[in-house]
Structure 1
Amino acid sequence: MVSERDRVDVRGTVWFVVLAYAPAWLLSTPLWLTGEGLSWEWAPVALTLMMLVPAVAAVVVTKWISSSPLRELGLTNAGGIKKWWRYAVLGCVGPLLAVLLSLLVGYLLGVYKADWTGFSGLVEQFGATVVGEQNQTSPTALALTQLGQVFLLGWVHTLPALGEELGWRGYLAKALLPLGQPGSFLTTGVLWGLWHAPILLLGYNYPTVPIVVSFLMMGSFCVLVGTLLSWLRLASGSVWPAAIAHGFLNSAGAMAVIFSQAGHPVDNASVGLLGWSGWIVLILLILVLVMLGRLPVRFQVAKEGISKGVERRSRKA
């Protein structure tokens, strides 16, 4: 297991970055060549394939460049699911609560116009009307349906999210641990943010702000949320809780529209976890982990006996 006492595998790390970036950026070229950008009908397919590239890079580097066991990526671990299922539950529920809290913070700060019970923004988007008219859907029923879809899609999104997590948290965050956990999380977050460059230039996530600002915002978001995902990965010993959390983060973004007020479009630059008001929630969550002594993650180190690699065991008379 890579620890903070080891040296960074520079060769493996550089190759991972090259293999994670180049094919992913190549997959984004049709969005540019068609001239349709993110509105291209095949854009969802291209974006999904991009998400799988870091996983391929991690496997190639681990197996053929660093010559390490694939188990180090966290797909399997000693103890199996019994060791990390609690973190998986947190990865499922945590993002939903974090997004809801971020909306509340945005509402209190005045950057998010909410309609918590009437769901007028959702009604406006879907063109639904109130109960009483034949064959129409009530706002509450529509909202509940959308919330149910958020939960179900969280699991659907987990598989493509695993593609990213196997690379960024399964391989890179762990490979950079010799820099210390803060250094590893910061570097991984910055590289993860820049990896989105081709689609950020097309307006991905932050279409309402200048390009330079969108890069800074995506980098900040990736560092903050990446720290929490890295914690899940290291604390659980598995990449699955981080992948689940990533999947639910992707689906939970729709909650901003569900609780929005009609006439006030949601701006990711200021609302939700992608927005600056949501970063307050992410920072608070990180601070809570620090205050509870859960971050940085403490690894158990086996004591060595007379021969290197032999664990010293005590005997009871």
Structure 2
Amino acid sequence: MRRHGDVRLFLLVAFAASWLIALPVWLGAAPFGGAAFQILGILIMFTPSLGVLAVWLTRRRGTTARQWARATGLTFGPRRGRTAALLAAALIGVPLLVAVALLVSAAVGVVRLDVAGLSLYRAQVAAVLDQMPLDPRVLYAVQVAQAVLIAPILNAIPALGEEWGWRGWLLPRLLGDPAVSPTPATGEFGSGEPGTSEAGTGEWRPARVWPALVLSGVIWGLWHAPLTLKGYNYPALGAWAAVLFVGFCVIFGALLGWVRLRSRSVWPAVAAHASVNATTGLALLLGDAAAPPNPALAGISGIVGWVLLALVVLVVYRLRPIAVPR
């Protein structure tokens, strides 16, 4: 029981805090789209980090801040060049995946695009266009540039609030990393370096990688329930949005897990998470106002996006697998 006390504490803090912060949404005081809702959404993103801090402060009192930061991926990892390359790949690759997912969605007929007229985008920014006579195409181009180049930097802080918990601590913990896991014999925490296996080889056990990725993704998806049960991300589905979003979290979480395990750093996952938050909704605004896209089907977070992400996950794990002991 002592071996899993840290996981229970982490989940209790992360889930309880997220529900507590989301209470105004359920009480009707923070409707979707309003400023209050946006603030609450950002605050909720920090609750997984509260769970990591709770584990460190109550169960890892002998671990210094520097050791804990290294164990949970807050450094750039042992190979900074690889981490930098994965960081750049995340910032460039995620917007490309978002764009490809939209194009594939249009190709298979689940979304009708209006690139020339931007009818859906015009409807979204009608108030802005009424006040400032701007060409919608120019305004959209500016927003795309901001979403790709600037927003990931701004989003990185709340994205870190999530990623330090899910990929920084929880995923290595599920993999049995001795730097963050208690030993089987004593229930006490090991003192190994981050990213090492139980055998101390510096590699991960293959039998644990996929189950850990799936489990961490399911937990990540369920943690969104305070908002997704209200239809967040998939408004037409109502409470069923909570179920559908778990699927996206498992598949996209596997990709975030790959960059975390390859780099031994949380920062590439932070960049990817921040970028997908910045670009997903903006891409769907290229749809036709006469037939708005269904986010449950179209785009990177819809079923079409799941298939695309699953293919990318299979390719990267095949070409650059997570090292395992011989």
Q: TM-score, normalised by structure 2?
A: 0.81
> Bigger shift: 10-19 or 71-80?
71-80
Q: 1:257/1:81 Cα in 2 relative to 1: closer, same or farther (>3 Å)?
A: same
| Alpha carbons 1:129, 1:138 under 8 Å: kept | no
Range 221-230 or range 78-87, more displaced: 78-87
Change in Cα spacing, 1:225 to 1:56, as seen in structure 2 (3 Å) is: same
Please say if 1:193 is aligned against 2:218.
Answer: no
Residue identity opposite 1:108 in structure 2:
A
Identity of aligned residues (%): 32
Segment drifting more, 86-95 vs 71-80: 71-80
Kindly provide the CA deviation profile for residues 194-220 of structure 1, in whole angstroms up to 9, marking residues without a partner as x: 111111122211110142x32221110
Structure 1 counterpart of 2:323 = 298
Amino acid at match of 1:153: A
The aligned counterpart of 2:147 is 150
Instruction: Name 1:279's counterpart in structure 2.
Output: 306
State how far apart, in whole Å, the 1-side matches of 2:154 and 2:48 are: 19
User: Partner residue of 2:171?
Assistant: 173
The aligned runs of 1:90-129 (5 Å cut-off) are: 90-127=89-126
The aligned counterpart of 1:53 is 47
CA RMSD of aligned residues (A): 2.4
Match of 2:270 in 1: 243
Q: Which protein is bigger by CA-based radius of gyration?
A: 1
> In the TM superposition, what are the counterparts of 1:195-234 in structure 2 within 5 Å?
195-211=223-239, 213-234=240-261
Distance 1:92 1:203, change over 3 A: same
Count of matched residue pairs: 287
Distance of 1:43 and 1:129 partners within structure 2: 21
Deviation at 1:273, TM superposition (A): 1.6
Verify the 8 A CA contact 1:58 1:166 in the aligned structure 2: yes
- How far does residue 177 in structure 1 lie from its aligned partner after superposition? 0.9
Q: CA separation in 1, counterparts of 2:126 and 2:106? A: 24
Match of 2:281 in 1: 254
The CA distance in 2 between the partners of 1:239 and 1:47, in whole Å, is 21
Residue 74, structure 1, aligned to residue 101, structure 2: no
Distance in 1 separating the partners of 2:110 and 2:100? 14
Letter in 2 for 1:154: P
1:305 corresponds in structure 2 to none
CA distance in 2: counterparts of 1:245 and 1:128, whole angstroms = 31
Q: Secondary structure at the match of 1:19?
A: helix
Structure 2 SS opposite 1:147: helix
Stretches of structure 2 lacking an aligned partner (at least 5 in a row):
177-206
Distance 2:29 2:43 in 1: 19
Are residues 1:13 and 2:7 paired? yes
Note if 1:22 corresponds to 2:20. Answer: no
Distance 2:309 2:5 in 1: 33
Tell me the SS of whatever aligns to 1:180: helix
Q: Which runs of no fewer than 5 residues in structure 1 stay unpaired?
A: 1-7, 302-317
Specify whether residues 30 and 124 from structure 1 end up closer, same or farther in structure 2 by C-alpha distance, changes over 3 A only: closer
* Equivalent-residue separation in structure 2 for 1:10 and 1:254 (angstroms): 38
1:159 corresponds to which residue? 157
Q: Deviations over 1:224-252 (max 9, x none)?
A: 00000011111011101101110001001
Quick one: distance in 1 between partners of 2:74 and 2:325? 20
Q: Specify the SS of the correspondent of 2:219.
A: helix
Query: Secondary structure of 1:42's partner?
Result: helix
Structure 1 residues 44 and 36: alpha-carbon distance in aligned structure 2, compared to 1, 3 A threshold? closer
